[in-house]
Structure 1
Amino acid sequence: MKAVESEVHDAHFTVDKQNISLWPREPPPKTGPYLVLGRCLTVRAAVVLLTLVLVSSALNALGPSPRPADPWFMGTMSDVKTSAQLLQGRVDNISTLSSEIKRNSGGVEAAGVQVRMVNASLDHVRSQIQRLEISVKEADARLQKLTSSWEEVDKLNAQIPELKRDLDKASALNAKVWDLQSGLGNISKMLKQQNDILQMMSQGWKYFRGNVYYFSVMKKTWYSAQQFCVSRESHLTSVTSESEQEFLYKMTDGLIYWIGLTKAGSEWDWHWVDDTPFDKLQSARFWIPGEPNNSENNEHCANIKRSSLRSWNDAPCDIELLFICKRPYVPSEP
């Protein structure tokens, strides 16, 4: 707009030796782009119209002028028309410029809105940056803590070999303690077992390899002897091995004792009364040579008759003899 105003020249000319100016040489003070343009346009248009009216009135008042003055007047009018045309062009230019300024004002306002939006975005970004800076500071503090923690971990790692050695020693000691505890437990069981055995021995029972045996001091028939044993939670003894046979015949010391071997009630097959399986092949080594002979077809029960490995004899079940009861050893309640 300053460029346009600098191109506009003052329209100044003389009518009847009087200086006439279409607008002042100095422009009025600017109060705003749109206000100044509007005022300039209005003032200049008014001055041009007023000048034309004054010129027309002066011509009518003077009447026909002498011919020598016609060329001057025509030149003056030509200058006025030229100035008016220039003025009209400037006015058109100013109008066009005003329209462009009005159109651009919308863009300026839109740009202002965008600037405000950008400023708001920048404020949001700045706040995010501040939060990130705070987070970075917190992360740095945590990193320092972790660094110190890792230093402690390194110290602990350096102590690990020594701790392992101590742990190995503790494990060895623990194993020894377990062994001692196990040994003490076994000793405790043995002592308890010995105590139980001593109590049973005081009642006439003998212990051998997990079983206890009662050697009677009174004589009974085989059936009565079995009932007596049952009343003591036992049965007439069975024999399951050579070692047990040896234990029994040594304890009888040559006296005759009923054992739990019979063939009564079983279709005349020998069997143990406590339901122990009867090993006929093994038991063949324990009979006295020539036994069992079932003399008079009435010898259905067996006894130990001699103090030797081959000591079994069959005899009538209703004769009275000493007898041997047998039951498994069961530890008493603690």
Structure 2
Amino acid sequence: MTTGEELPCAHFTVDKQNISLWPREPPTKTDRPLPLRKPSTVCAALTFLSLVLVTSVLLQGILYSWLLGTLSDAKINAQLLEGRVDNISTEGSEIQRNRGGLKAARIQIQRLNVNLTQMRSRLLTLEASLEKANAGIQRLTRSWEEVNILNAQIPELKRDLDKASLLNAKVGGLQSSLENMDKSLRQQNDILQMLSRGWAHFKGNYYYLSHISKTWYSAQQFCISRDSHLTSVTSESEQEFLYKIAGGQIYWIGLTKAGSEGDWHWIDGTPFNKLQSSRFWIPGEPNNFGNNEHCANIKRTSLQSWNDVSCDAQFFFICKKPYIPSEP
């Protein structure tokens, strides 16, 4: 290079992505353009613009490669996102199913809460019952202790009871004796009162011997007015008592066959013992003399003292009534 010559300007060509700068080597004579004579300022500007253009193309190439990588990464990320979206959809369906399960679980929990409330109420009731039972057990325990104390006292109580039983037996005996004495005294008092009225007493019966004579029917009416009947005779001892108190006088007794189709019977309703009574008739009696002797009397002072006579005859009579204890 000589001072008299100007530096050559840089030239470049762009073929697609290939950039060529020249002169790297001196062009051939055929390719060498005609030398231009430009000012150095223009060459500098062109050189700067060339550098800018080269830089821009390089940057575009780099950016293009980077964009291609970025797009590839974006596609991959998009595919990953699609997979995640699918997973999210699946998880959403699962969440929906889980929601149904949660609703059912919530209902079940509510039921469990109700059951727990009921169980709590029952537990409270059971606790109250247990408290009552405990109180009852305590009372029973105290009662059992008292029973044990009483059991310990049983032997002594038995001895006292035996003594009391003996005393009760004695008291019962005394009470029975007193009752018998009282009964006997009342009976004696009753008998004395009846004796004072003219009645005799024999084996639980009162007997009244009249002092006036009446027909058999009138005598029966008199006895009825005294709450009695003409006397019946039911035993040998009673027969002996009657003929002795008669003292040989004739007295009507309550034996008749009037209105009974010829059969003898007692007017007070006592059953007539024909076999026994056959021993009390005077031998040969009853003979129904004149076919008009339908009533009987005591005629003799002996066991065989009965005689049949007319009921219209008038004799003394004997009334009889049972002894009835007076009220205490």
TM range (shorter): 0.5 to 0.7
Q: Given the alignment of the two structures, is residue 324 of structure 1 paired with residue 318 of structure 2, yes or no?
A: yes
Count of residue pairs the alignment pairs up: 273
Tell me how far 1:239 sits from its aligned partner: 0.9
Q: Please, what is the CA RMSD of the aligned residues?
A: 4.2
1:245 corresponds to which of 239, 249, 255: 239
- Greater mean alpha carbon deviation, residues 157-166 or residues 144-153: 157-166
Over 3 Å counting, the alpha-carbon distance change for 1:97 and 1:180 in structure 2 is farther
TM-score, normalising length from structure 1? 0.63
Pick which of 169-178 and 80-89 moved more: 169-178
Q: Which residue does 1:226 correspond to in 2?
A: 220
Matching residue of 1:66: 18
CA–CA distance in structure 2, aligned partners of residues 324 and 261 of structure 1: 12
Deviation at 1:286, TM superposition (A): 0.8
Measure the CA separation in 2 of the matches of 1:307 and 1:97: 152
Q: How does 1:70-85 map to 2 (within 5 A)?
A: 77-78=64-65, 80-85=67-72
Instruction: Find the residue that maps to 1:255 and give its secondary structure.
Output: coil
Partner of residue 217, structure 1: 211
TM-score by length of structure 2 reads 0.64
Q: Within the alignment, does 1:114 sit opposite 2:97 as a pair? A: no
Q: CA deviation at 1:86?
A: 2.2
Partner of residue 144, structure 2: 154
Matched, 1:91 2:78: yes
2-structure distance, mates of 1:111, 1:172? 93
Written as runs of structure 1 = structure 2, the 5 A alignment for 1:1-334 is 64-67=16-19, 77-78=64-65, 80-101=67-88, 103-105=90-92, 107-108=94-95, 110=98, 114=102, 117=106, 138=128, 141-158=131-148, 159-160=150-151, 162=153, 165=158, 187-332=181-326
Aligned-partner Cα distance in 2 for 1:193–1:154: 56
Question: What per-residue deviation string (whole Å, max 9, x for no partner) do you get for residues 75-131 of structure 1?
Answer: 874554243122211122123314423542564574698398387678768767866
- What is the rounded CA distance, in whole Å, between the counterparts of 2:119 and 2:284 in structure 1? 116
Query: Cα distance 1:276–1:124, how it changes in 2: closer, same or farther (>3 A)?
Result: closer
How far has the Cα of 1:201 moved from its partner? 1.7
Please list the CA deviations of residues 170-204 of structure 1 after superposition, one character each: whole Å capped at 9, or x if unmatched. Answer: 77777776776666555544443333322222111
- Measured in 2, the distance between the counterparts of 1:153 and 1:235 equals 69
CA displacement at 1:246 relative to structure 2 = 1.9
CA shift, 1:212, in A, is: 1.6
Distance 1:123 1:181, change over 3 A: same
- How far the C-alpha of 1:235 sits from its partner, in A, is 1.8
Q: How much has 1:215 moved relative to structure 2?
A: 0.8
User: What letter is aligned with 2:18?
Assistant: P
Q: C-alpha displacement at 1:261, in angstroms?
A: 1.6
Q: Which residue of 2 aligns with 1:18?
A: none
**3-state SS in 2 of match to 1:155:** helix
**3-state SS of paired residue (2:83):** helix
Match of 1:12 in 2: none
Aligned mates of 1:330, 1:256 — CA distance in 2: 28
Q: 1:160 to 1:93 in 2, by over 3 A?
A: same
What residue ranges of structure 1 are gaps of 5+ in the alignment?
A: 1-61
Q: Which has the larger radius of gyration?
A: 2
CA gap of 1:102–1:177, structure 2 versus 1, over 3 A, is farther
